[in-house]
Structure 1
Amino acid sequence: MTTKTPFELMMEQSQKFAQDMVTSMNPALSNFDPKAFEAMWPTMPKDAMEMWFGKGFSKEGLDAKTRLLLTLSGLVMQGAQAETPLRMTVRHAMEAGATKEEIVDTITHMSMFAGIPAMNRALELARAVMADKKDDET
């Protein structure tokens, strides 16, 4: 029989309390799936991204692809914890013209600053998006 530490017991109680609070306030949230919610968001067309995030306001500024790669590097720097924004940024970067190599290079470059675990998690999430994108194209 394994005994749990006081910290493990506290974490279990806290998670159960949080789950009970969510389901008591809104029972529909007990079945909430963040990936299904993410799938509802369409990929923005490249021209729209260029208008809003690219050279729409600053003709000499960064294009949408570069801005999205910078956003991706920031998300990796945060430890790749924000999974939905990271996946959506990869998806939008590809739509804006970023190649798979550029995305992987951006993520691996951040290993020097964010660490190997953050890089590995980000690569895992990016590969899943790239695989989904490949399936969509066939």
Structure 2
Amino acid sequence: MTDSKNPFEAMMKAGQDWAKSLNPALESFMPKGFETLWPTMPSEMMEAMMGKTFNPEGLDAKTRLLLTLMGLTILGAQAESQIRLTVRHAREAGATKQEIAETIAQAAMFGGVPAMTKAMTLANEAMAEDTKKDRDE
């Protein structure tokens, strides 16, 4: 084989060519904001699915979402859509902006300051969108 590309580059190129052949608009697709395709679950539904409804002695939905946010932050805040979506759901479940900020700050002890900074930026973006939505209604 005389191709000097590494296997990862070849795989990425093949995927891009495939996406372009399906829909030329996918060539410039960016996943930023992809999480907006999923609506925020109502707090009652979150509580039923992941809260105390089926496990009365367990964690409530807000606490579970804050723990999820901490885990996503510790992993390096690489899952941008998931962080924004988790922040939106945590706010809907009753988490305050202060609780979200403290959760992310605590994660810096395990994930480092760069991860905390990135997660805080993403959370602020999600909460700013939430505030804007509140004004529009």
TM-score norm. by structure 2 comes to 0.84
1:77-92 correspondence runs (5 A): 77-92=74-89
Distance 1:26 1:84 in 2: 23
Residues 1:100 and 2:103 are matched in the alignment: no
Shift of 1:79: 0.4
Unaligned stretches of 5+ residues in structure 2: none
Q: Distance in 1 between matches of 2:34 and 2:74?
A: 24
Which residue number corresponds to residue 110 of structure 1? 107
16, 20, 27: which one aligns with 2:17? 20
CA deviation map 1:106-133 (0-9, x unaligned): 0000101000110000000000011111
Write the deviation string for residues 23-82 of structure 1: whole angstroms up to 9, x where unpaired. Answer: 245544224342453212111000000000111210010000000000000100110000
Aligned-CA RMSD value? 2.2
TM-score by length of 1: 0.83
Partner Cα distance (2:38, 2:93) in 1: 16
Instruction: Point out 4+ residue stretches in structure 1 off by more than 6 angstroms.
Output: none
The residue aligned with 2:118 is 121
Q: Which runs of 5 or more residues in structure 1 are unaligned?
A: 1-9
Partner of 1:34: 31
Query: Residue 20 of structure 1: CA displacement?
Result: 3.2
How far apart are the structure 2 equivalents of 1:81 and 1:101?
22
Identical pairs, percent: 54
* C-alpha distance 103-49 of structure 1, shift in aligned 2 (>3 A): same
Given candidates 44, 47, 50, the residue that maps to 1:47 is: 44
Within a 5 Å distance, the mapping from 1:55-94 to structure 2 comes to 55-94=52-91
